A and B are shown apart, each in its own frame.
Chain A
């Protein structure tokens, strides 16, 4: 059953056959008359300096993309996915469609802005879906600033009908970027370890889903509780994974997997000890990992082309959980060389190993933000498990989430604004679930997974 599931999923969900996307900018409708001020202010103009605003979710009305026949349903479905993405981000407050006054949306005309101001929507999305003679879909959307009465963005996208959810995520990303000034993160996926069965005989399967929980696919069959999969991580192009497998009591090994073909292979080169905690370098050409040898564990980097290994740490301690900075020049890792697990940063060649965590307790599972500005980590102190961030020099430490349940393993959204981690609630029927939280420490929500889920890793943007 599981093998069949995996095979089906590989054919439809992962390979995404025939996907192609063409983006064209739509010219603005109803451009405004240019403002009449000259660049030089009159002397008498009153000057006001505003230094504080009011952070609140932006009210945005997302109308159903219009269409005829089956295109109308698809338009409604696409709008529903856009709405869910934007609402879940916590940055937007989609307006209740029941309050909409203008119902006759013509995607080729400017909307009646007054109708949208009355219901306090500050932004508005309109658009259409048109099936093409060649079987593809043409999806158009326009983003409007309701109060200024102007078009902010307009795009035309072409794709195959089975990719309608991706088109919705791509549109949601475009809206997010135009209104926040930062890239979005909706057109991305999360890989994790799916856990079913009783605690003493858990079945662990590698699973992948869209960031909103849709299109869940199992990558490994996982029929045997002795088959364990841990720490899956994406390659920079999102096409490959590296993770640790522990099959039927054989020695644990780090493997590579091509997501599209399902082919799994051992890392090139020979390792003399158990390997674990792998991560790709930002250029995808290397994997950094831990290797145990006797009582000690050290960090090595492996060149995937040549199989050549380089030892980066060499002290009598457990050095693990290495993660590259996005420029590939530095690596953050955990080490207990000072007596307890703490975070250290070193050059990518192993130089200048420097401790950066000093706020007390123990630290683990560091991961560098894709923006480069922060490192997320797990901190354990006084019986509490915390997910936090600090700058790469150890300053500016902030705790985002605290729990008495075990929570660990943060992973960053591609835009570096959201973190997903796993939290294991206790109790006889307890198990891990995936949670996300904003970098602000707000908007903590559980991700929809069908079973228990652990070890999440967020992909880069797919487009």
Chain B
């Protein structure tokens, strides 16, 4: 995968998942920062419940993790370039950081 292919792929995923992400509205973005890891099937459906790799130490933790998981499901199935599914940096498995630092 070339650098530009990779950048384009990341941009597509960012737009597709961000569109469905409805984060809790905390005054402090770090309060709702969540990292998820999950796998997609070739048809763009979600293979398993996204694992919460990092969650904030705040009262928003549960709501933030749920909102990120919902975003992954609600916007599926994803239409991504089939040739970039496998291999290093393919979209078969990804780790997504949800951090609303440009929102509030």
A residues with a Cβ closer than 8 A to B are 32, 35-37, 39, 41-56, 58, 122, 145, 147-150, 152, 178-182, 373, 440
Interface assignment of B48: CB less than 8 Å from any CB of chain A: yes
**CB–CB B95/A44 < 8 A:** no
**CB–CB B37/A45 < 8 A:** yes
Q: SS class of chain A's interface: helix, strand, loop or mixed?
A: loop
**CB–CB B60/A181 < 8 A:** yes
Q: In the bound complex, what is the Cα–Cα distance between A256 and B103 (angstroms)?
A: 45
**Nearest A residue to B98 by beta-carbon distance?**
A50
Contact of B62 among A37, A52, A178, A440 (CB under 8 A): A178
Beta-carbon contacts of B63-104 to A below 8 Å, as 1s and 0s? 110110111011000000000000111110111111111110
**Nearest A residue to B11 by beta-carbon distance?**
A48
**CB–CB B93/A46 < 8 A:** yes
CB neighbours of B20 from chain A (8 A): 54
- Given A39-B53, A47-B95, is A122 in contact with B25 using a C-beta cutoff of 8 Å? no
Q: Which residue, of A37, A41, A54, A180, has the highest number of chain B Cβ atoms within 10 A?
A: A37
**CB–CB B74/A122 < 8 A:** yes
Q: Which residue, of B49, B87, B90, has the highest number of chain A Cβ atoms within 10 A?
A: B49
**Nearest A residue to B39 by beta-carbon distance?**
A37
Beta-carbon contacts of B22-53 to A below 8 Å, as 1s and 0s? 11111100011000010000000000111101
- Given A46-B94, A51-B101, is A179 in contact with B66 using a C-beta cutoff of 8 Å? yes
Q: How far is the CB of B3 from chain A (nearest CB, A)?
A: 13
**CB–CB B100/A152 < 8 A:** no
**Nearest A residue to B17 by beta-carbon distance?**
A50
Closest 9 CB pairs of A and B: A181-B60, A181-B63, A147-B73, A53-B21, A46-B94, A51-B102, A44-B88, A37-B51, A181-B24
Q: How far is the CB of A298 from chain B (nearest CB, A)?
A: 35
Q: In the bound complex, what is the Cα–Cα distance between A55 and B22 (angstroms)?
A: 5
Beta-carbon contacts of B5-28 to A below 8 Å, as 1s and 0s? 010011001100111111111110
CB neighbours of A37 from chain B (8 A): 37, 51, 53
**CB–CB A54/B24 < 8 A:** no
CB neighbours of A150 from chain B (8 A): 49
**Nearest B residue to A373 by beta-carbon distance?**
B27
**Nearest A residue to B84 by beta-carbon distance?**
A46
Q: How far is the CB of A28 from chain B (nearest CB, A)?
A: 13
**CB–CB B103/A51 < 8 A:** yes
CB neighbours of B97 from chain A (8 A): 47-50
Q: How far is the CB of B55 from chain A (nearest CB, A)?
A: 11
Q: In the bound complex, what is the Cα–Cα distance between A320 and B93 (angstroms)?
A: 62
Q: In the bound complex, what is the Cα–Cα distance between A80 and B28 (angstroms)?
A: 34
CB neighbours of A39 from chain B (8 A): 53
CB neighbours of B32 from chain A (8 A): 181
**CB–CB B96/A181 < 8 A:** no
CB neighbours of B37 from chain A (8 A): 37, 41, 45
Contact of B66 among A46, A48, A148, A440 (CB under 8 A): A148
**CB–CB A56/B22 < 8 A:** yes
8 pairs, A vs B, C-beta closer than 8 Å: A44-B88, A44-B90, A45-B93, A50-B18, A51-B100, A53-B22, A55-B25, A181-B61
- Since A48-B96, A145-B70, A150-B49 are in contact, a sample of 7 more A-B pairs with Cβ atoms closer than 8 Å, ordered by chain A residue number, is A35-B49, A52-B18, A53-B98, A54-B22, A178-B62, A181-B24, A181-B58
Contact of B89 among A41, A46, A49, A178 (CB under 8 A): A46
**Nearest B residue to A183 by beta-carbon distance?**
B59
Q: How far is the CB of A391 from chain B (nearest CB, A)?
A: 11
CB neighbours of A179 from chain B (8 A): 63, 66
Contact of B93 among A44, A54, A55, A56 (CB under 8 A): A44
**CB–CB A49/B99 < 8 A:** yes
**CB–CB B102/A46 < 8 A:** no
Q: In the bound complex, what is the Cα–Cα distance between A19 and B17 (angstroms)?
A: 46
CB neighbours of A49 from chain B (8 A): 14, 96-97, 99
CB neighbours of A41 from chain B (8 A): 37, 53, 95
Q: How far is the CB of A389 from chain B (nearest CB, A)?
A: 12
CB neighbours of B10 from chain A (8 A): 46-48
Q: How far is the CB of B71 from chain A (nearest CB, A)?
A: 7
- Given A32-B49, A35-B49, A48-B13, is A54 in contact with B21 using a C-beta cutoff of 8 Å? yes
**CB–CB A50/B95 < 8 A:** no
**CB–CB B24/A45 < 8 A:** no
**Nearest B residue to A40 by beta-carbon distance?**
B53
CB neighbours of A55 from chain B (8 A): 22-23, 25, 103
Q: In the bound complex, what is the Cα–Cα distance between A40 and B87 (angstroms)?
A: 18
Contact of B69 among A36, A42, A147, A178 (CB under 8 A): A147
Contact of B70 among A51, A148, A181 (CB under 8 A): A148
Q: How far is the CB of A373 from chain B (nearest CB, A)?
A: 7
Q: How far is the CB of A37 from chain B (nearest CB, A)?
A: 4
**Nearest A residue to B50 by beta-carbon distance?**
A35
- Given A36-B48, A48-B14, is A53 in contact with B93 using a C-beta cutoff of 8 Å? no
Q: How far is the CB of B16 from chain A (nearest CB, A)?
A: 10
Q: In the bound complex, what is the Cα–Cα distance between A32 and B18 (angstroms)?
A: 26
**Nearest B residue to A39 by beta-carbon distance?**
B53
Contact of A42 among B13, B66, B93 (CB under 8 A): B93
